[in-house]
Amino acid sequence: MQPNKYLSEQKEEMSVSNTDIIIPVYNAPEWVKLCVYSIFTNTPKEYIGKVYLINDKSDELTVNCLRNLEKKYSGSIEIVNNGRNLGFINTVNKGLRLSKSPYVLLLNTDCLLSKNTIPKLISHCKKDKSIGLISPISNNAANLSLDMFEGFSYTQMDRLLEKKFKGKNFDACTIVGNCLMLTRECIDEVGVLDESYGKGYGEETDYQFKALSKGFKAKVAIDTYVYHKSEVSFGSSLEKKERVERNRALFFSRWADDFEKEMTKYQRNDPIEYINEHLTQDDKEINLHTAFYLPFIGQNSGGSHVVVDIVNYLVINGFSANILYEFFSDFEEMILFNPIKRYESIDYDIKQIVATLWISVFGARVIADEKKIPLIYLIQGYENYFENGDIYGCVELTHKLVDYEVVISKYLKNKIEKNFNKETTLIQNGINIDLIHNGRSPDKVKNVTVVLRGNPMKGDFLLLEIIKQLDQEFNNLVFRIVYMHKGIDFPIIRNNKVVKILGPVKRTKLIEVLKETDVYVDASLNEGFGLIALEAMAAGAVPIVSNSFGVLEYMKDGENGYIINEVNNSDKYIEKIRKVIYDKGLFSMLRKQGKRDSAEFDFDNTIQEYITYLERERNVINTNLQFDKEELRIIKLRTPEFEKAMITDKGKSVLYKIALKSAKLVPKRIRNLLKKILDFLYGLYDHSE
């Protein structure tokens, strides 16, 4: 893995001391992966002792993730497995007994480190040898919580606090256990966490007051900020609420008087109050290197997931990036930054803007013109084909409006450069290998999975036909069907089992489905890349997919799956599925080769390519756009009443007009959404039917 180039060398007068990191793990593998990634991305190697991932009887998906992480960070990670679920306290204590380093960081799986979190905490401890415990500030840390400001990411918050309060710490009334550093001297004196607190809550505060009674100080470092999700592993059940009440009673039976004294001191010198008092409005001004313009963020929008993933990983790497959006709906995945609602006027600094969908190009061009910054177009699909080609000409114009283009597959690169004479940069898509790879080794085909995406171009009708034909020919199969809307009349299945999963599904749920999949079938007519088929391959399934072009990035016909060139012939899919079902040796060979090939598409490497690309200095290319008659004809299509205004209205640029006219080229079912977007952007067009 490439080192994070945003890590500056930590220059300390004293020698480097390494830190053991103890992470109790109970499920939530997507957070485990990012937690570990944040450690190795943001911590100089010499500060890391051993990372103990202590598995408290997690599910299979999490266990697979742990194995993959241990392999990736070979020598730095040690997996410890509990024979039964012991709860948080006993699990942490296992790690404390194993640790030998001079410093120990207790870290929750849903807590992500910033640049040099560990060196900064160590620096505080070295400057005051009486410090036994120290925590950073976080977005979710009880009385040590500081919300991310508008348009800030958690790593931007960290940089701001370090700039304003470097080296400063406060007494902590109650330290927070999601990210807690202990010194070896404190551990040797105080011991491990008190197991009378059962499965957890209040144990770290009890530990703090024991340490205070032995002369140690408990501090909060206000120059350090981490991200904490909270409640990921342990939830918010009735059992937990009862446990909280029981443990609070236990704590106050021991430390009520001491706690009251510390609270009185804390209230006179509140670190969060101090921070807020010493930050100015200028400190909170949004300042972005790269803004991604994503009009709609939603769970059922594949493009949303990719863009949010890119920005999340950029954020962890310390890159100043965020998303401008218009509408936010039911998005259930992690977001490590505070997205920016797009307003008519943008009064903050941006160095470059990235359009993420054809319709976003128009608004992004306006922003780019206003700010005099480059416009980059991230192309995830051949959008000229969208909506049955109704918007072909309008999408074609987007290639003229942008300064630079990034594509996710060689297919898209060749298509755009050939058809529109536009130079592009290729950054291949990636997948979360650590989360998906698993050790499952079925000896025969049992589970066949399809995903119905509610779009004629995705071949849903063909997938249903394939399921019907398989049911007529085979017995004892399981058809796993993920579908996106309730109004589907499924084929009548008589001889096999059907498992229906109504979407949109969270990513971890889809990975669980793919993990149980032996053959994945896709019949899409066109894919810019085709992520699900690659994820299925990585999960150990054999993909049998249509030649939708983008899948050629990773599919090798007859080596790691099968490519169907007669994409609308269901018999051709059945022929290959039949072959894999009857030939167990072939099935095994395709699976193994697919897992090997998929490992080349690790998103950890993809994000380094994005960082390298985005940090380059760029000039604005399209400073004086001109349109020929044919382009103007497309712009004016179906809106002749605006022809004269477009040409003679000097108060508005042609680009505004392009954005407005594009709404008329879109089918009615999404026109209302575009109406809202365009009204919001420009406020000058009445969309009458």
Element of type H or E holding 291 = strand 287-293
User: Which residue do the tokens 């001004």 mark?
Assistant: 285
Task: Please say if the pLDDT value at position 2 is more than 60.
Answer: no
The average confidence (pLDDT) of the chain is 88
What CA–CA distance (Å, rounded) separates 316 from 34? 9
Task: Please say if the pLDDT value at position 683 is more than 70.
Answer: no
User: Do residues 524 and 459 lie in contact, with contact meaning Cβ atoms separated by under 8 Å?
Assistant: yes
Among 343-357, 503-517, 652-666, top mean pLDDT goes to 503-517
What CA–CA distance (Å, rounded) separates 108 from 179? 7
Q: What are phi and psi of 32, to 5 degrees?
A: -55, -45
Handedness of CA 582, 588, 589, 595 (dihedral sign): positive
| pLDDT, tens digit (0-9, with 9 covering 90-100), for 524-557 | 999 999 999 999 999 999 999 999 999 999 999 9
Confidence band of 122 (pLDDT split at 50, 70, 90): very high
The residue ranges of every structural domain in the chain are 19-278, 287-426, 437-601, 629-682
User: Do residues 269 and 222 lie in contact, with contact meaning Cβ atoms separated by under 8 Å?
Assistant: no
* pLDDT given for residue 232 in this prediction: 52
What value does the mean pLDDT take over residues 49-58?
97
What CA–CA distance (Å, rounded) separates 290 from 285? 15
| pLDDT, tens digit (0-9, with 9 covering 90-100), for 479-533 | 999 998 888 889 999 999 999 999 888 889 999 999 999 999 999 999 999 999 9
What value does the mean pLDDT take over residues 8-21?
61
Task: Please say if the pLDDT value at position 239 is more than 60.
Answer: yes
pTM passes above 0.85: yes
Nearest residue to 312 (alpha-carbon basis) of 33, 52, 74? 33
CA atoms within 13 Å, Cβ hemisphere of 311? 35
* pLDDT given for residue 662 in this prediction: 47
CATH class given for the domain over 437-601: alpha beta
CA atoms within 13 Å, Cβ hemisphere of 142? 14
| pLDDT, tens digit (0-9, with 9 covering 90-100), for 375-434 | 999 999 999 998 888 888 888 988 988 999 999 999 999 999 999 999 999 999 999 999
What CA–CA distance (Å, rounded) separates 474 from 448? 12
What CA–CA distance (Å, rounded) separates 518 from 541? 4
DSSP string across 62-122: HHHHHHHHHHHTTTTEEEEE-SS---HHHHHHHHHHH--SSEEEEE-TTEE--TTHHHHHH
Q: Which fold has domain 19-278?
A: Spore Coat Polysaccharide Biosynthesis Protein SpsA; Chain A (3.90.550)
Topology match between the domains 19-278 and 437-601: no
* pLDDT given for residue 369 in this prediction: 87
Confidence band of 652 (pLDDT split at 50, 70, 90): very low
Architecture of domain 287-426: 3-Layer(aba) Sandwich (3.40)
* pLDDT given for residue 277 in this prediction: 97
